[in-house]
């Protein structure tokens, strides 16, 4: 991630409509997956400064894994719960996890299968993996460059990678359907006029609040549509 973007990220996460709407959607998904609260073991891979931990805590015991030591040092009260490192054979948790989160993580990795295989190995027998990624390479803009993305995924591509990594994809869905047209317009403009990636800004409060509300409602009404700005997938370990 760009240094300026990394510095702005905590404020964006807590204030920008996109991150607020995404968190609302994710918490609905997690509630449905875990069904009960307070008992689950949860691992947030690529957790950064543990910004999601406060919202996850009611579901059970939360741990994080993050390769960026600088981000981890900003995790405050959650510092002891975050391991600095990679999701590979060197990471050995004390017990399997009921839920592993990879939220906008694997698009940064050119070869994500080893990462996903390790996730499958440390999931409980009935555990779940929840993944989100940016959707469709034809929506690539300078924002992807700013984020150091390696690729974007269709639901079918994400399913194929999960199924090839010791997991069974249970379902996929698209998020942020209304962003497709604006992103296509940005992509078209950038193809004509070269532009430097810009760190996002939080819109004025009325616009920010309206967008947050719209995308929460959109997910309920149009989450079934076969396109969007992001893809969400739920997978479980393949059982012998």
Is the torsion defined by CA of 102, 104, 109, 111 positive or negative? positive
d(CA 192, CA 80): 48
Give the count of beta carbons closer than 10 Å to the beta carbon of residue 32: 9
196: burial class by Cβ within 10 Å (0-12, 13-18, 19+)?
exposed
Domain locations in the chain as residue ranges: 3-237
Residue 17's Cα: distance from chain center in Å? 15
Q: What is the pLDDT of residues 67-96, one digit of tens each?
A: 999 999 999 999 999 999 999 999 999 999
CA atoms lying within 13 Å on the CB side of residue 220: 7
Which pLDDT does position 4 carry in this prediction? 84
DSSP state of 52: T
pLDDT tens, per residue, the chain with 240 residues: 667 888 899 999 999 999 999 999 999 999 999 986 679 999 999 999 999 999 999 999 999 999 999 999 999 999 999 999 999 999 999 999 999 999 999 999 999 999 999 999 999 999 999 999 999 999 999 999 999 999 999 999 999 999 999 999 999 999 999 999 999 999 999 999 877 888 999 999 999 999 999 999 999 999 999 999 999 999 999 986
Which H/E stretch holds residue 72? helix 69-72
* pLDDT tens-digit series, residues 90-133: 999 999 999 999 999 999 999 999 999 999 999 999 999 999 99
In whole angstroms, give the CA distance from residue 13 to residue 9.
Answer: 6
| CATH superfamily of the 3-237 domain | Vaccinia Virus protein VP39 (3.40.50.150)
Cα-based angle 204, 208, 210 (whole degrees, multiple of 5): 125
Q: DSSP states of 163-222 as a string?
A: HTTTEEEEEEEEE-GGGHHHHHHHHHHHHHS--------PPPHHHHHHHHHHHHHHHHHH
**CA–CA dist 187, 181 (Å, integer):** 10
Strand, coil or helix: what is 65?
strand
Q: How many helices (H) and strands (E) does the chain have?
A: 9, 7
- The contacts found for 191-198 with CB under 8 angstroms, 24 or more apart, are 195/142, 196/142, 197/2, 197/142, 197/143, 197/145, 197/146, 198/142, 198/146
């Amino acid at each position: 991630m760009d240094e300026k973007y990394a510095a702005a990220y905590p404020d964006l996460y807590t204030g920008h409509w996109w991150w607020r709407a995404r968190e609302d959607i994710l918490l609905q998904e997690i509630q449905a997956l875990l069904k009960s609260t307070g008992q689950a073991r949860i691992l947030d891979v690529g957790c950064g400064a543990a910004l999601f931990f406060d919202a996850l805590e009611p579901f059970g015991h939360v741990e994080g894994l993050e390769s960026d030591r600088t981000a981890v040092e900003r995790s405050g009260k959650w510092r002891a719960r975050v391991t600095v490192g990679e999701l590979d054979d060197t990471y050995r948790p004390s017990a399997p996890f009921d839920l592993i989160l990879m939220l906008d993580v694997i698009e940064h990795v050119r070869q994500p299968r080893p990462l996903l295989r390790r996730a499958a190995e440390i999931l409980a027998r009935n555990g779940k993996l929840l993944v989100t990624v940016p959707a469709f390479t034809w929506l690539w803009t300078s924002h992807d460059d700013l984020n150091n993305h390696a690729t974007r995924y269709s639901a079918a591509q994400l399913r194929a990678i999960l199924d090839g990594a010791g997991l069974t994809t249970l379902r996929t869905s698209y998020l942020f359907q209304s962003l497709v047209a604006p992103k296509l317009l940005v992509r078209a403009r950038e193809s004509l006029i070269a532009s430097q990636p810009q760190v996002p800004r939080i819109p004025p409060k009325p616009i920010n609040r309206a967008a947050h509300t719209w995308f929460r409602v959109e997910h309920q009404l149009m989450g079934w549509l076969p396109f969007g700005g992001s893809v969400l997938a739920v997978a479980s370990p393949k059982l012998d």
